[in-house]
Amino acid sequence: MMTTVELPLWLFVLIVLFAAVTFASHFLFPSVRWFFRRRLERAVAQLNERLTRPIEPFKLARRHDMIQRLIYDPEVSEAIVQHANDNDVPENVAFEQARRYAREIVPSFSAFAYFSFGARAARWLATALYNVRTGLNNDQQIQSADPNATVVFVMNHRSNMDYVLVTYLAAQASALSYAVGEWARVWPLSRLIKSMGAYFIRRKSRGALYRAVLARYVRMATEGGVTQAIFPEGGLSVNGKLMPLKKGLLSYVVDGYDPKKRDVVFVPVALNYDRVLEDRVLIAADARGDRRFGVSITVVMAEILRLLWQWIRGRYRKFGTASVVFGPPVSLAALGEDVELDELAETLRDRIQDVMPVPFVPLLCRLFLMSPDPLPDQDLVHEVKAAMPPTRGTRPPLLDQDLRDRVLRAMTDMETRGMVKKVSDTWVMLAEEEALVRFYANSIDDLYPDSIAIGNAARAKS
C-alpha cells in the first residue's frame, strides 16, 4: 500500500487534469449553473414586474428541452411516419430530418441579450437613422388586450428596419418572437437573432414534414403565451404597396386555437418611411420580376463608412421620419369558434391600411404624380395640408410654421436624392426618378383610390 509508484510527468499531469474535469463536471459546474440560473430567474421576475405582458415560462425553456418536446410531439411523430412512407425511407432517417428542422426553427432566447443588448441597440439604431413617430394610441392598443391572451403583432413589411423599430417600441410591453426568413441564417448573425427569440422559416419550403414541424412549434408558442411578430405579406414590398396577406403562419395560429384555453389577439401594425434604405434594390427586383436582392457587403460597408464620415464632420442628416402605428386589436375569442381564415386576413389587412401613417415624402411624391404641371414653391404647404387625411398621422396637427419646416426638409431630402429639382420658384419631378417617386407614393395609394391614375392621365394630356 505504501509502495512508491513512478510515473512520467506527462502522464501525471494528464491524470490530474482528468480528475479536475471530473470533479468540476460532477460538483462544480452544476452548482455554477444553478447559481446563475437562480440569478437569471430573479432578474426575469424583476423584469416581468415592469412589462405590460410578462415573459412566459415557455420562452425561457432550455432550447434542448424544447427541441425534444417538439420532435416527440404526437403530431410531429405522425408526420414523420407519413414522410417515411411517402418517400420510402426508414423512420429513423425521417426522424433525423425532423430533428434538423426543429434545431433550425427553435430559438435560444436570452432575456439578457434581448433587453440588455437587443432592445437598447434597436433604440439607438432607430433614433440614429430616423425621427421615430408613433401612433397616439399605441400603448392603449396593447393594454386593451386581455392580459392572459397571446398577442401576435401583424405588420406590413417595408424595410428590414421594421424589425428594429417594432422591437424598440414594444420593449416596454414584452419580448417579441419574430418569424424571420432565410436571409438571417448567416453565421454569426443567426446566433444573435436566435438569442433574441426569433425563429427561422423557409418561405419556399413545400415539404410536408417541414411544415408539420413549423406549424407545431408555432402552435406550441401560441399556446404558451409567447408574444409574436409576423409579416404575412411574405417578404418586403417591392413596389411600396400593401400586398395581400398570405395565410401560412396565420393558419398555424388559427388551426391550433382552442376557445376553452388562452385567447389570441392580433394587433395590426402599420409602418411607413420617408426613406426606405433598400428602396432602389426593391425597385430593381420589381422591374426584373423576381425577389433576388443582390446587395454586396462592400456596398453596405461603404455606405456605413460614408455616414460615419458625415457624422464626424457634423454633416450627418437622418433619413427623415419612420412612423409606426398600432391598429385596433382583433380577438379570436370575439370572432367565435368558426373563424374564416380569409375573412381574418382581410380584416387585418384593412386595419393595417386604415392606420397607415402618412410621412411627408410619400405625400409629396403623390402630389408630384398627381400634378401635370410643376408645383409652385409658395403653394407646397397649402397642397400638403389639403392632401393630408384629417384622421391620420401620428401626432396632433402641426402649426403652419412647423408644417412648412417639415415640408421644406422633405423637399430638401428629395432634391438631394435627385427625385426633384427647383426651377425658378417651382418644383419639378425628374422623369428618370419617376419609379422611385412612385414607390413612395404607392405606400399611401390605398388612401386615395384612383387618384394617381387620374394624375397620370392628366400628365399624359399635358
* 197 φ/ψ sector (left φ>0, alpha ψ -120 to 50, else beta): left
d(CA 42, CA 44) in angstroms, rounded, equals: 5
Locate cell 417651382: which residue? Answer: 426
Q: Which pLDDT belongs to residue 454?
A: 45
Q: Which pLDDT belongs to residue 181?
A: 72
DSSP assignment of 121-178, as one string? Answer: HHHHHHHHH-EEEE-TTHHHHHHTS-TTSEEEEEE--S-THHHHHHHHHHTTT---EE
Within this chain, do residues 271 and 164 fall inside the same structural domain, yes or no?
yes
Q: Which pLDDT belongs to residue 29?
A: 52
Within this chain, do residues 330 and 422 fall inside the same structural domain, yes or no?
no
Using the 3D structure, point to which of 328, 353, 378 is the last residue of a domain: 353
DSSP 447: G
What residues contact residue 72 under an 8 Å CB cut-off, 6+ apart?
none
Residue of 394, 351, 388, 408 lying closest to 165 (CA atoms): 394
Residue of 242, 287, 239 lying closest to 437 (CA atoms): 239
Give the burial class of 447: count Cβ atoms within 10 A of its Cβ; 0-12 exposed, 13-18 middle, 19 or more buried. middle
Within this chain, do residues 391 and 265 fall inside the same structural domain, yes or no?
no
Within this chain, do residues 338 and 375 fall inside the same structural domain, yes or no?
no
Using one digit for the tens of pLDDT, what is the confidence trace for 67-109?
999 999 999 999 999 999 999 999 999 999 999 999 988 888 7
In contact, 404 and 146? CB cutoff 8 Å? no
**Looking at residue 138, which CATH number applies to its domain?**
3.40.1130.10
- The answer to whether residue 291 is domain-embedded is no
- The answer to whether residue 301 is domain-embedded is no
Within this chain, do residues 347 and 414 fall inside the same structural domain, yes or no?
no
In contact, 321 and 360? CB cutoff 8 Å? yes
Using the 3D structure, point to which of 353, 371, 406 is the last residue of a domain: 353
Within this chain, do residues 151 and 235 fall inside the same structural domain, yes or no?
yes
Q: Which pLDDT belongs to residue 401?
A: 77
Within this chain, do residues 389 and 256 fall inside the same structural domain, yes or no?
no
- Give the mean model confidence (pLDDT) for residues 207-233: 90
pLDDT band (50, 70, 90) for residue 442: very high
Please state, for a pLDDT cut of 90, what percent of the chain lies above it: 29
Q: Which pLDDT belongs to residue 104?
A: 86
- The answer to whether residue 49 is domain-embedded is no
- The answer to whether residue 428 is domain-embedded is yes
Helix (H) or strand (E) holding 267: strand 264-273
In contact, 114 and 175? CB cutoff 8 Å? yes
Give the burial class of 287: count Cβ atoms within 10 A of its Cβ; 0-12 exposed, 13-18 middle, 19 or more buried. exposed
Using one digit for the tens of pLDDT, what is the confidence trace for 392-434?
545 556 667 788 888 899 999 999 999 999 888 899 999 999 9
**Looking at residue 453, which CATH number applies to its domain?**
1.10.10
Within this chain, do residues 134 and 210 fall inside the same structural domain, yes or no?
yes
In contact, 252 and 217? CB cutoff 8 Å? no
Q: How many CB atoms lie within 10 A of CB 428?
A: 15
b/e map of 218-250 (b: 16 or more CB within 10 Å)? bbbbbbebbbbbbbbbbbbbbbbbbbebbebbb
Specify the range with the lowest mean pLDDT, choosing from 229-238, 294-303, 413-422: 294-303
- The answer to whether residue 272 is domain-embedded is yes
Distances 224 to 106, 220, 253, 261, 426 between C-alpha atoms, Å: 14, 6, 12, 11, 58
Within this chain, do residues 108 and 255 fall inside the same structural domain, yes or no?
yes
Maximum C-alpha span of the chain: 111
Total of domains in the chain: 2
**Helix (H/G/I), strand (E/B), else coil: 266:** strand
Using one digit for the tens of pLDDT, what is the confidence trace for 127-158?
999 999 888 888 788 888 888 888 999 999 99
Within this chain, do residues 170 and 246 fall inside the same structural domain, yes or no?
yes
DSSP assignment of 270-321, as one string? Answer: EEEES--TTHHHHHHHHHHTS------HHHHHHHHHHHHHHHHTT------E
Within this chain, do residues 266 and 387 fall inside the same structural domain, yes or no?
no
The three-state (H, E, C) secondary structure of 225-257, written as one string: CCCEEECCCCCCCCCCCCCCCCCHHHHHHHHCC
Q: Which pLDDT belongs to residue 271?
A: 93
Displacement of CA 435 from its chain's centroid (Å) = 26
- The answer to whether residue 387 is domain-embedded is yes
Within this chain, do residues 405 and 324 fall inside the same structural domain, yes or no?
no
Helix (H) or strand (E) holding 405: helix 400-416
Amino acid symbol at 165: L
Whether the pLDDT of residue 293 is over 80: the answer is no
Please state, for a pLDDT cut of 70, what percent of the chain lies above it: 80
- The answer to whether residue 336 is domain-embedded is yes
pLDDT band (50, 70, 90) for residue 274: very high
Set of cell numbers at residue 357: 401613417
Structural domain including 382 reads 360-461
**Helix (H/G/I), strand (E/B), else coil: 360:** helix
Using the 3D structure, point to which of 333, 353, 373 is the last residue of a domain: 353
- The answer to whether residue 86 is domain-embedded is no
pLDDT band (50, 70, 90) for residue 25: low
User: Which residues does residue 429 pair with via DSSP β-bridges, in sequence order?
Assistant: 420
Whether the pLDDT of residue 124 is over 80: the answer is yes
Q: What is the mean pLDDT of the chain?
A: 81
pTM above 0.75, yes or no: yes
Whether the pLDDT of residue 310 is over 90: the answer is no
Using one digit for the tens of pLDDT, what is the confidence trace for 323-375?
999 999 999 988 877 888 889 999 999 999 989 999 999 999 999 998 888 88
pLDDT band (50, 70, 90) for residue 171: confident
